[in-house]
Amino acid sequence: MAYYTTTDGVQLYFEEFGDGQPLLLVHGFGTTHDYYERNIPVLAESFHVVTLDLRGHGKSSSAKTGAHISRLATDIHELLNHLELNHVTFLGWSMGASIGWSYWELFQADRLAKFIFVDEPELALDTLKNHWGFLDYNGLLELSEKLRANLPLGMKNMIENTQADPGMDTSDLVKASSTGNPDFQADLLINHGVTDWHTVVKSITLPTLVISGDGHFFNADLIKAVHQDIPNSQFEYFEHFGHFLFFEDPEHFNQVVHDFTKN
């Protein structure tokens, strides 16, 4: 466990496990690296696993600026430069996938070998309206202000609405998601929600695996569209598992990630 100071003074918390080919795990909006607790030990048996808390999340600090996806992608590029890692497999779940798309737009394949995108559509705003009530931009603003007013409650509601298994114990996830910066995350949600990545996704040329849940949160067809937009990409569908598929079905998830990264 360690910290890296970004060029604009933010302290990024990161951890490293294992040896071998580097595998970067990037979490989603409002979450932390702790969400990968069921994946890191197994994946670290085969890979050099790197995880971090994005700025404004978990143990990382935040700045008065930088609440946008491109800054988060820049943070990761700086971290990979600091660690002098090359041929990295970039795994991004949810908003973490959008960060991967921004990374590609800004830095192309610099230090990367492969992408794994987990359960994220190319445009979040429209596809969320049937799940969170995002009927229009005003709905996005309303949710943003709810998170600003009470981040722990807002994240608790998000997790409960996202998990496929209502009986799943998510108390540790809720606790981890309560540690971020409410103002930063509220602002970040707006940027995340309105950004359309269709054009960028279609330009990706690295070997890519797209993983989809069963549509409990995002319509699986929207995730499959990401796969269809990336030439020669692979697609993996997790039936009966939702947005937290890596947490709900870690054994299968870890094997899929292992096989794609190793091969």
Tokens standing for 68?
Answer: 């946008």
Tokens standing for 108?
Answer: 């192309």
Cβ atoms of 93 and 28 closer than 8 Å: yes
pLDDT tens string 41-86: 999 999 999 999 999 999 999 888 899 999 999 999 999 999 999 9
Mean pLDDT estimate for the chain: 92
Interatomic CA distance for residues 8 and 146, integer angstroms? 28
Tokens standing for 263?
Answer: 């091969």
The residue with greater pLDDT, 158 or 247, is 247
pLDDT of 159: 82
Cβ atoms of 233 and 210 closer than 8 Å: yes
Among the residue ranges 11-15, 38-42, 103-107, 186-190, the one predicted with the least confidence is: 186-190
pLDDT of 161: 74
The count of other CB atoms within 10 Å of the CB of residue 192 is: 22
Please, which residues bridge with residue 144 across strands?
Answer: none
Domains of the chain: 2-262 (3.40.50.1820)
The residue with greater pLDDT, 157 or 39, is 39
pLDDT of 171: 83
pLDDT of 71: 98
Burial state string for 225-241 with b = 16 or more CB within 10 A and e = fewer than 16: bbbebbeebeebbbeeb
Interatomic CA distance for residues 34 and 17, integer angstroms? 14
- Flag whether pLDDT at 40 surpasses 50: yes
Max avg pLDDT among 87-101, 122-136, 150-164, 173-187: 87-101
* pLDDT range class, residue 165, cuts 50, 70, 90: confident
The count of other CB atoms within 10 Å of the CB of residue 197 is: 22
Interatomic CA distance for residues 60 and 211, integer angstroms? 27
Interatomic CA distance for residues 213 and 252, integer angstroms? 12
Interatomic CA distance for residues 24 and 209, integer angstroms? 14
Axis-axis angle for helices 182-194, 69-83 (nearest 10): 110
pLDDT of 219: 81
| pTM recorded for the entire structure | 0.94
pLDDT tens string 96-131: 999 999 999 999 999 999 999 999 999 877 655 555
pLDDT tens string 193-239: 889 999 999 999 999 999 999 877 788 888 999 999 999 999 999 99
pLDDT of 133: 40
